[in-house]
Protein backbone atom coordinates (compact mmCIF):
# COMPACT_ATOMS: atom_id res chain seq x y z
CA UNK A 1 0.00 0.00 0.00
CA UNK A 2 1.05 3.58 -0.48
CA UNK A 3 -0.42 6.82 0.79
CA UNK A 4 -0.91 8.73 3.99
CA UNK A 5 -1.76 7.15 7.32
CA UNK A 6 -4.42 8.13 9.87
CA UNK A 7 -7.34 9.11 7.66
CA UNK A 8 -5.34 9.98 4.59
CA UNK A 9 -5.53 8.41 1.20
CA UNK A 10 -4.34 4.83 0.80
CA UNK A 11 -4.24 2.89 -2.46
CA UNK A 12 -3.29 -0.67 -3.16
CA UNK A 13 -1.33 -0.75 -6.39
CA UNK A 14 -3.46 -1.57 -9.40
CA UNK A 15 -6.74 -1.74 -7.47
CA UNK A 16 -8.58 1.48 -8.39
CA UNK A 17 -8.19 5.16 -9.15
CA UNK A 18 -7.94 7.67 -6.33
CA UNK A 19 -9.59 10.82 -7.57
CA UNK A 20 -8.65 14.33 -6.52
CA UNK A 21 -8.54 17.85 -7.93
CA UNK A 22 -6.19 20.81 -8.09
CA UNK A 23 -7.13 24.12 -6.53
CA UNK A 24 -5.19 27.35 -6.67
CA UNK A 25 -5.66 31.03 -5.94
CA UNK A 26 -3.80 34.26 -5.45
CA UNK A 27 -3.66 35.56 -1.90
CA UNK A 28 -3.75 39.16 -0.87
CA UNK A 29 -0.85 40.14 1.34
CA UNK A 30 -1.58 38.86 4.82
CA UNK A 31 0.25 38.69 8.11
CA UNK A 32 1.14 35.56 10.00
CA UNK A 33 -1.94 35.67 12.23
CA UNK A 34 -4.31 36.12 9.26
CA UNK A 35 -2.56 33.28 7.41
CA UNK A 36 -2.96 31.00 10.42
CA UNK A 37 -6.67 31.85 10.72
CA UNK A 38 -7.16 31.26 6.99
CA UNK A 39 -5.42 27.88 7.08
CA UNK A 40 -7.39 26.82 10.17
CA UNK A 41 -10.65 27.78 8.43
CA UNK A 42 -9.54 25.92 5.28
CA UNK A 43 -8.74 22.80 7.29
CA UNK A 44 -12.17 22.92 8.95
CA UNK A 45 -13.83 23.37 5.55
CA UNK A 46 -11.96 20.41 4.10
CA UNK A 47 -12.79 18.20 7.08
CA UNK A 48 -16.49 19.09 6.87
CA UNK A 49 -16.52 17.62 3.34
CA UNK A 50 -14.33 14.57 4.08
CA UNK A 51 -11.35 16.02 2.19
CA UNK A 52 -7.61 16.43 2.81
CA UNK A 53 -5.05 18.50 0.95
CA UNK A 54 -1.42 18.51 0.00
CA UNK A 55 0.54 21.30 -1.57
CA UNK A 56 1.81 24.66 -0.61
CA UNK A 57 1.19 28.23 0.30
CA UNK A 58 3.53 31.16 0.03
CA UNK A 59 3.23 34.91 0.46
CA UNK A 60 0.92 35.43 -2.50
CA UNK A 61 -0.29 32.04 -3.76
CA UNK A 62 -1.96 28.82 -2.66
CA UNK A 63 -1.54 25.68 -4.80
CA UNK A 64 -3.05 22.48 -3.41
CA UNK A 65 -4.27 19.08 -4.50
CA UNK A 66 -7.42 17.91 -2.72
CA UNK A 67 -8.30 14.27 -2.08
CA UNK A 68 -11.08 12.49 -0.21
CA UNK A 69 -10.17 11.09 3.20
CA UNK A 70 -9.89 7.33 3.46
CA UNK A 71 -13.39 5.82 3.47
CA UNK A 72 -15.00 9.18 2.55
CA UNK A 73 -17.41 9.44 -0.34
CA UNK A 74 -16.57 12.92 -1.60
CA UNK A 75 -18.72 14.08 -4.50
CA UNK A 76 -18.70 16.81 -7.08
CA UNK A 77 -20.96 18.76 -4.71
CA UNK A 78 -18.09 18.73 -2.19
CA UNK A 79 -15.68 20.00 -4.86
CA UNK A 80 -18.08 22.77 -5.85
CA UNK A 81 -18.77 23.70 -2.21
CA UNK A 82 -15.04 24.13 -1.63
CA UNK A 83 -14.75 26.27 -4.78
CA UNK A 84 -17.62 28.46 -3.57
CA UNK A 85 -16.00 28.76 -0.12
CA UNK A 86 -12.80 30.02 -1.76
CA UNK A 87 -14.79 32.49 -3.88
CA UNK A 88 -16.26 33.97 -0.68
CA UNK A 89 -12.89 34.47 0.98
CA UNK A 90 -11.80 38.13 0.83
CA UNK A 91 -8.13 37.08 0.86
CA UNK A 92 -8.48 34.94 -2.28
CA UNK A 93 -8.56 36.06 -5.90
CA UNK A 94 -8.23 34.22 -9.20
CA UNK A 95 -9.59 30.97 -7.76
CA UNK A 96 -9.13 28.01 -10.13
CA UNK A 97 -10.58 24.58 -9.36
CA UNK A 98 -9.75 21.62 -11.56
CA UNK A 99 -11.84 18.59 -12.46
CA UNK A 100 -11.53 15.26 -10.71
CA UNK A 101 -8.46 13.37 -11.98
CA UNK A 102 -6.61 10.22 -10.98
CA UNK A 103 -4.20 11.36 -8.27
CA UNK A 104 -1.72 8.69 -9.32
CA UNK A 105 -1.90 9.57 -13.01
CA UNK A 106 -2.38 5.97 -14.10
CA UNK A 107 -2.22 5.71 -17.87
| pLDDT tens digits along 40-99 | 999 999 999 999 999 988 878 999 999 999 888 889 999 999 999 999 999 999 999 999
**Hey, where are the domains in the chain?**
19-102
As a whole number of angstroms, the distance between CA 97 and CA 18 comes to 17
Measured from the Cβ of residue 102, the count of other Cβ atoms closer than 10 Å reads 13
Domain 19-102: CATH superfamily, name plus number: Ribosomal protein S6/Translation elongation factor EF1B (3.30.70.60)
Q: With H, G, I as helix, E, B as strand and everything else as coil, classify residue 2.
A: strand
Average pLDDT over residues 11-36: 83
Measured from the Cβ of residue 20, the count of other Cβ atoms closer than 10 Å reads 24
Q: Which residues contact 86 (CB under 8 A, 6 or more apart)?
A: 23, 25, 92, 95, 97
Whole-prediction pTM value? Answer: 0.79
Amino acid sequence: MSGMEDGGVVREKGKFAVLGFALSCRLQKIGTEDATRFLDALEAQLESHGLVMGGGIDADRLDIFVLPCKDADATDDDRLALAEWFDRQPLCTEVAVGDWVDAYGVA
